[in-house]
Amino acid sequence: MTRFIFITGGVVSSLGKGLMAASLAALLQARGYKVRIRKFDPYLNVDPGTMSPYQHGEVYVTDDGAETDLDLGHYERFTGVPSRQSDNVTSGRIYQTIIAKERRGDYLGATVQVIPHVTDAIKAFARTDVDDLDFVLCEIGGTVGDIESLPFIEAMRQLRNDLSRGAFISVHVTLVPFIAAAGELKTKPTQHSVRELTSLGIQPDVLVCRCERPLPAGERAKIAAFCNVRPEAVIPALDAKSIYAVPLQYHGEGLDVEVLRAFGIEPGPSPDLRRWDDIMDRLTNPEGEVTIGVVGKYVGLPDAYKSLSEALVHGGISNRVKVNLRWLDAELFEQEGRDIAAELEPMHGILVPGGFGERGSEGKIRSVQFARERSVPFFGICLGMQMACIEGARNLAGIDKASTTEFGPTEEPVVGLITEWMTAGGLQKREEGGDLGGTMRLGAYDAKLAGNSHVSAIYGATDIQERHRHRYEVNVHYKDALEKGGLVFSGMSPDGELPEIVERPDHPWFVGVQFHPELKSKPFDPHPLFASFIEAAVKQSRLV
């Protein structure tokens, strides 16, 4: 029998529901259960693909090409279970599906309403592809009491009745604030939040209480009494030194035990948490440190690069070093008279990440040039690879006007919009004026690596598969000219038409990739490119 755990949040947003869900799933997994995590987002966008990173943070991409909430990245990093398109749904996607069916006449003239049509669609999403699972964790975005999330809460209530007894529990994450003037933790916000949820027909089985001070037994008992749960089911959640300490912390507070007891399952032996113990040992006892400069466009909001920053941490875990990230605004590097060298010289590695649009592009190109000329380890991802190709074209291949059609018409389109390419499933086509998501190469694609290349040695393979999210490609017609300038195309699509990886053999570590390797990195399984990049940064740190 598949059991469902619905996770809601109350009082305020940003309480860490996603990390809690990921940590709980990791703990259940460590007990031998098969798990999957899903995210319900109440906003009306069909997906976050067209949303600004400053609005939403990173867009996470799955193997099957879904653009999803960044919480799905946490889910994968903590469980190793690849997310799918069916693991993230928004109100917009629900309504889009329902309206399409209504226009086709699928409802046979019936009045289409929130109940039952919207709630039935939400329930159907929750129950899709779960036959082989022990637990499905469903996180509902937003805060209880928001009007946007009401259909999802109502669908929860209905699903609890639809399922067999013992197949559904509710975990509610709330805030217990500390009032400095009074010197007290206050339980009233949690009481009101639970009352709000209960008024909507959901009695939580477990409460996770975020607090910045330890939760005394008296307050814990008070919350239990007013919120109709057992005192042991009130789980304190204090801030952790690292997000990878959270599973151990929740286990120490008994979260996994209380969740199993809520289902009537005897917890049994303790879970095998050696994986997490080793990760924390490497994080808390590093044998050195390196500084990586990330020259990007959205550096004002680190969540815009969430998977990237975590993948760099994973590279540090692999090499047992602390990774210090220096976020550098690419636009500032475009200012006349700006001393880029002074800002980049302290870096042991330079990374230029993905992005869209022209803003900051010349600053990224100057960063690539600095890394190439000074022999500093360089890693270019997506747009970062494209900027590396344009830099090489301008400065080494004699193509002074090299640019990308993404920024407008150009005489030398070293990077351009590709509208057709071959895949294992056949010819893929895109329209230049199509919907923004529809013009992208999204999801997992195969690549073939040159057998004598640096990257094939890093991967230990010549056939790889990585996730993509981009509209523009390096123009293969410039391959010969760029290779004469020393930039080797060491990874190509299987048909040889789409450049996937470039590298410089005459450089200590210079790699550009068209895909997003950060999306597949995990703390217990660091992506080989990030592990190798940080290893090169460690060597660089010993030279400066």
Helix (H, G, I), strand (E, B) or coil at 221: helix
Radius of gyration, CA atoms only, the chain: 25
Residue for token digits 């960044």? Answer: 70
Catalytic residue among 139, 154, 473, 518: 518
Catalytic residue among 382, 412, 470, 527: 382
Nearest one of 190, 95, 191, 97 to 152, comparing CA atoms: 95
Told to judge if 382 belongs to the known catalytic residues of this protein, a careful annotator would answer yes
For residue 52, what are its two tokens?
A: 């600004």
Cis peptide before 116 (omega within 30 of 0): yes
| Contact by Cβ (8 Å): 105, 85 | no
| Range 161-167, long-range pairs (CB < 8 A, 24+ positions) | 162/123, 163/4, 164/1, 166/3, 166/263, 166/264, 167/1, 167/2, 167/3, 167/4, 167/263
3-state helix, strand, coil split of the chain in percent (to 5) is 40, 25, 35
Told to judge if 516 belongs to the known catalytic residues of this protein, a careful annotator would answer yes
Whole-angstrom distance, CA of residue 15 vs CA of residue 11: 9
Tell me the one-letter amino acid at 45: N
Told to judge if 432 belongs to the known catalytic residues of this protein, a careful annotator would answer no
| Contact by Cβ (8 Å): 311, 522 | no
Catalytic residue among 74, 314, 468, 516: 516
Catalytic residues: 382, 516, 518
